[in-house]
Structure 1
């Protein structure tokens, strides 16, 4: 990216400052998602939120994104992650970048809670998707709405025998 292109992109939004006490949360029985900055706030540069997972919580089934890279930074606890066909455990302070089109999944590591900062770049409007997930988990929306929204939110679900086995043996 040349300086001119970067400057033009950065000029399309103002600094984003999200106060923790004023952040919107999307909660379900096993996690709380704190919405920090969506693509519309950042000129499309990124989307960012924080998730806290209860012990044994399953975060997301295997999926991939066609346009965005997804970054994980573990603030506390441990997160079990599928990357391609490999299972990894990320501990406090660990960072992981998953490139576009790479299948991945995540859950609190066995016996652990997890506090994770998620960042997508480029950003896509994902907060409505996270709100939908919360409604589905609470029984307020039909799970089919998630499948129907795959293209809109660049969230494409896949099967992973490796992940199924890991969850079956660890939980």
Structure 2
């Protein structure tokens, strides 16, 4: 399984950053019944600069419940469709071409917008090792792992879940 490839033909034995290329055909994917996550570049491959993955959500697919990160910004770029997003205490709908940057400590959540599919590029900066977290999410969604493992990993993956009455109400309206 190849998740990324350094573009330099010869790698000098230094800490210099090198370009990262992830070929679509070689990228690892994590799928569950309503979404597919394509793992593009994890923190180890970018010297901690960023982590990136792409998620495609089926119509009506849940994304992530309300949560925040303490160390990283989370960037969203909507490639296609529409994404419903909680940012703090506001719910917004992002459409194709929209970009959102959520700073650390800001509660946020996301799901495919009502009646829509969504194709979204996610970037965390600085990077954090998230691919094991995404793999765990896929296993939980497929019923292969206990959801308690997600709660137990909150510090390791800097993913802290919170209650959001605003987000719960938005999901109820869109159901």
Q: Report the TM range for the smaller structure's normalisation.
A: over 0.9
Match of 2:129 in 1: 125
Indicate which of 144, 149, 155 corresponds to 1:140. 144
In 1, the alpha carbon distance for the partners of 2:41 and 2:85 equals 23
Indicate which of 149, 165, 171 corresponds to 2:153. 149
**Matched-pair contact (CA < 8 Å) for 1:53–1:59:** yes
Structure 2 residue ranges without an equivalent (≥5): 1-13
* 1:96 corresponds to 2:100: yes
Shift >2 Å, 4+ stretches = 10-14
* 1:110 corresponds to 2:99: no
Using the TM superposition, give the Cα deviation of residue 12 of structure 1 relative to its aligned residue in structure 2, in angstroms: 4.4
* 1:24 corresponds to 2:28: yes
In 2, the alpha carbon distance for the partners of 1:82 and 1:146 equals 20
Q: Whose helix fraction is larger, Structure 1's or Structure 2's?
A: 1
**Matched-pair contact (CA < 8 Å) for 1:23–1:35:** yes
Residue 106 of structure 1 aligns to a residue in which SS? Answer: strand
Structure 1 residue ranges without an equivalent (≥5): 1-9
Cα root mean square deviation, aligned: 1.0
Match of 1:71 in 2: 75
In 2, the alpha carbon distance for the partners of 1:12 and 1:140 equals 40
Match of 1:87 in 2: 91
- 1:122-167, Cα deviation, whole Å (9 max, x unpaired): 0000000000000000000000000000000000000000000100
Match of 2:167 in 1: 163
State TM-score, norm by structure 1: 0.93
